């Protein structure tokens, strides 16, 4: 798929002009997601990667090439969104780029990566890398401390000990207007 084929056009509107050096909207999304990854090196690595070649032969995927920076980047178009095939060399780097933004956890990291990228056994890789993430492990509370229940002593005389509860106005009281 070339840059010109990926640009939208309709019968009422003329096709968009291709600006020299500009990337199509789908390519801009890919480069934004893979901020620290060199897309030309990724495209070159796809050509020599055996796992990428196996993914290309999968009947459930619609693999096509997307022209980015003069290189053909292999992407899966079965979901309607171009999802680049990521060779093993770049997988951990891509995970680190996405996960280190906000340490979102296993489920959210898996959703962020799986919706935009593709490699074999990516769900298990993402889960294991999230489990191994040191900064996630440090910030999680794994055990809640349990404190023994302390008995309250019963006073010997009446009113020698008084409990006072201060309560703010309830939401019902706030809605009622004063009648004075």
Q: Give the start-to-end residue ranges of the domains of the chain.
A: 3-137
Structure-token pair, residue 128: 């294991």
The CATH code belonging to domain 3-137 is: 1.10.340.70
pLDDT surpasses 60 at 6: no
Which of the residue ranges 10-19, 84-93, 98-107, 138-147 would you say has the lowest mean pLDDT?
Answer: 10-19
| pTM reported for the whole predicted model | 0.59
Quote the pLDDT of residue 61. 87
Pick from 93, 68, 71, 103: which is nearest to 82 by CA?
68
Instruction: Calculate the average pLDDT of the chain.
Output: 75
pLDDT (tens digit per residue) in 48-97: 888 888 888 888 888 888 887 778 888 888 888 888 889 988 889 888 88
How many whole angstroms separate alpha carbon 6 and alpha carbon 26?
8
């Amino acid at each position: 798929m070339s840059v010109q084929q990926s640009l939208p056009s309709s019968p009422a509107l003329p096709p968009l002009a291709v600006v020299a050096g500009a990337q199509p909207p789908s390519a801009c999304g890919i480069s934004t997601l893979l901020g620290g990854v060199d897309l030309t090196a990724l495209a070159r690595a796809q050509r020599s990667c055996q796992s990428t070649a196996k993914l290309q032969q999968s009947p459930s995927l619609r693999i096509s090439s997307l022209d980015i920076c003069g290189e053909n980047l292999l992407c899966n178009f079965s979901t309607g969104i171009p999802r680049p095939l990521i060779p093993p060399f770049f997988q951990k780097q891509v995970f680190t780029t996405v996960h280190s933004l906000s340490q979102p956890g296993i489920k959210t990291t898996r959703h962020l990566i799986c919706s935009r990228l593709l490699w074999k056994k990516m769900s298990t890789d993402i889960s294991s890398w999230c489990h191994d993430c040191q900064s996630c492990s440090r910030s999680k509370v794994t055990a809640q401390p349990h404190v023994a229940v302390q008995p309250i002593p019963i006073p010997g005389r009446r009113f020698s000990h008084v409990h006072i509860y201060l309560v703010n106005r309830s939401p019902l009281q706030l809605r009622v207007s004063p009648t004075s």
